[in-house]
Structure formats: C-alpha cells, structure tokens
C-alpha cells in the first residue's frame, strides 16, 4: 500500500486491507534510499454511502556515505511519516459517484520537537462516471487534489479514463497514473504503470551548510516519474503478495530552505525494487 498523502489518486483501490511494504532505490547518484511502510485501511465501514478510514506509517532510510567526506547529512538519514486518512464515497444519479478523501499527516526527521512545518493536510475530491457494456466496465474520473504527490505539497489534477477490454485486460490513461493491467487467472495478475514517486519531509534541527551558515528549518524533497512492471500473486481469499521492478526517470533529490535549494544530489535515473504483502479483511 502507499501513502494517501502522496497517492490518493489511484483507481485500483484494494480496500479493507492490512499491508506491509518494502522498497529500495538502488542508486540515486550514490545515495541509497530504502522505504518501509505499514498501512491499515478500512474502506467500507458503511455501504451506502461508503465511509472509509485508516492510517499508515512510513520510514525512509537514506545512506549518504559517498557524501560524508564533504558534509554531514546525518540529520536526513531517517525520515518518518505518520498519516491518518478518511474517505467518503456517495452514489449520484446516472452512474456518477462523488469521492472525497482527507489525509492529514506528519512528515519529519523527528530530530527535534514537532513543529507546525511538520504537518501537511492533503485532500482530494473527484467525480467518477461508470459505464457497463456486456459486463465490461469503463469509467471517467475528473477532480483535483492537494498533497506531496509531486514533491513539495501542491495542487494536482485527477483526470483518467479506465476501460476493461475483456475479462482479463484493462487499461487506464490519465494523470497521474497511466497503465495496463492484465489478470491471468484468479491467482496471478500483472501491470505496467507510469506514475509519480515522491518524498517530502521537514527537518527542524539545525543543519550546517558548507559556508558554515546554520539552517534551522530545512526540507528534503525527492520526486521522480516511475515506469514499473508489477506482479501480484493471491495465496487465497485473504493473503496476497506483490513485486514491482521500476525505472525512475527525471528523479530529483534536493535539500532546501524556504524554496531555496541548499544542495542538489543530481540523482537522475535509478532502478527500484518493491515487495509487499497484504491481508484482505473482507475477502473482496
């Protein structure tokens, strides 16, 4: 599962799950990034309308060993994100749905006491139109959101068209996700997606720059476009696991203060590996 603060846009929700996930970015220009997360998601407490809620915790570990001889980046070696989210969905007329998600979260190094700069209020709203022809569904989503989907918190569009070509094949075109999804059988499925990857975390502790100037409120920002090939295997009605091998394009890893870049690690391209396991509570 992924952070709703970053990815409230997905049209492929797997609701009512508990999930563990591990990701590794193999080489962001000599910076190693490993991510571990746990998510508890209860999507359908009520059926009509649907009210969902959940929480997640993400730990990002960065290794700056190759840069230690130039400067001390230890303040940014451990990043933490704690998030609560609530989701509301209501059916409207003519097969339209309205979806609203609110996800406040803290994203920080936790090196000092938490400040207001560590808090981010992310949210998203959209309308979805669904068609059903001969048992094959298509949908159109239109909306917008606010969060750290593309790095520093900002507004972003939600616009996508999804269509089932047959019982096994579905494609989705839009912003922020474009992909192809293939279900081989009840146990095995594959996907190929283009989607954003991002991290944004605040650091309230002092950070000494190379000119001996001390900054007391800085941010780490990571953003990239990921092309990923994924595989999911269902053990039974409850348990499933997934793997993803990705290639990151146009990645950026920077430290900044008040929109002024302190240091650019010039991360460029990288390979990524993701593995996760989830428990589906409702056997959907």
CATH of the domain at 267: 2.40.160.40
234 domain-assigned: yes
What's the pLDDT at 2?
Answer: 41
Count of structural domains, the chain:
1
CA distance between the termini of the chain: 16
Hunting for tokens 């094959």 — which residue is that? 136
What's the pLDDT at 4?
Answer: 46
1 domain-assigned: no
Rg of the chain over all Cα atoms, to the nearest angstrom: 20
233 domain-assigned: yes
44 domain-assigned: yes
Instruction: Tell me which residue range forms the domain holding 148.
Output: 17-280
Query: Above 80 in pLDDT, residue 184?
Result: yes
Query: Above 60 in pLDDT, residue 11?
Result: no
User: pTM for the complete prediction?
Assistant: 0.89
What's the pLDDT at 237?
Answer: 85
C-alpha span between 77 and 228 (Å, rounded): 26
Cα angle vertex 224, ends 222, 229, to 5°? 130
266 domain-assigned: yes
C-alpha span between 165 and 142 (Å, rounded): 21
6 domain-assigned: no
Q: What is the pLDDT of residues 227-277, one digit of tens each?
A: 999 999 999 888 999 999 999 998 999 999 888 888 888 888 889 999 999
Q: What is the pLDDT of residues 128-183, one digit of tens each?
A: 999 998 889 999 999 999 999 999 999 999 999 999 999 999 999 999 999 999 99
- At 68, the pLDDT band (50, 70, 90 cuts) reads low
31 domain-assigned: yes
Average predicted confidence (pLDDT) for the chain: 88
2 domain-assigned: no
């Amino acid at each position: 599962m992924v952070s709703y603060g970053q990815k409230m846009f997905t049209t492929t929700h797997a609701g009512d799950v508990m999930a563990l996930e591990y990701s590794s970015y193999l080489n962001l220009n000599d910076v190693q990034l490993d991510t571990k997360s746990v998510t508890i998601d209860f999507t359908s407490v009520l059926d009509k309308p649907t009210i969902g809620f959940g929480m997640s915790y993400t730990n990002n570990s960065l290794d700056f060993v190759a840069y230690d001889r130039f400067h001390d980046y230890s303040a940014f070696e451990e990043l933490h994100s704690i998030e609560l989210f609530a989701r509301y969905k209501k059916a409207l007329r003519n097969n339209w749905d309205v979806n609203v998600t609110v996800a406040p979260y803290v994203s920080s190094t936790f090196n000092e006491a938490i400040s207001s700069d560590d808090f981010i209020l992310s949210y998203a709203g959209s309308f979805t139109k669904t068609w059903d022809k001969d048992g094959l569904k298509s949908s159109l989503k239109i909306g917008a959101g606010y969060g750290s989907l593309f790095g520093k918190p900002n507004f972003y569009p939600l616009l996508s068209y999804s269509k089932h070509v047959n019982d096994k094949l579905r494609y989705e075109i839009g912003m922020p996700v474009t992909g192809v999804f293939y279900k081989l059988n009840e146990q095995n499925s594959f996907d190929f997606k283009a989607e954003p990857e991002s991290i944004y975390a605040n650091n309230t502790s002092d950070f000494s720059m190379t000119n001996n100037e001390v900054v007391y409120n800085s941010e780490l920002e990571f953003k990239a476009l990921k092309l990923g090939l994924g595989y999911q295997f269902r053990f039974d009605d409850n348990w499933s696991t997934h793997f993803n091998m990705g290639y990151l394009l146009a990645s950026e890893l920077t430290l900044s203060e008040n929109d002024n870049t302190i240091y650019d690690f010039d991360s460029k391209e990288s390979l990524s590996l993701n593995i996760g396991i989830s428990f589906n509570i409702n056997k959907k």
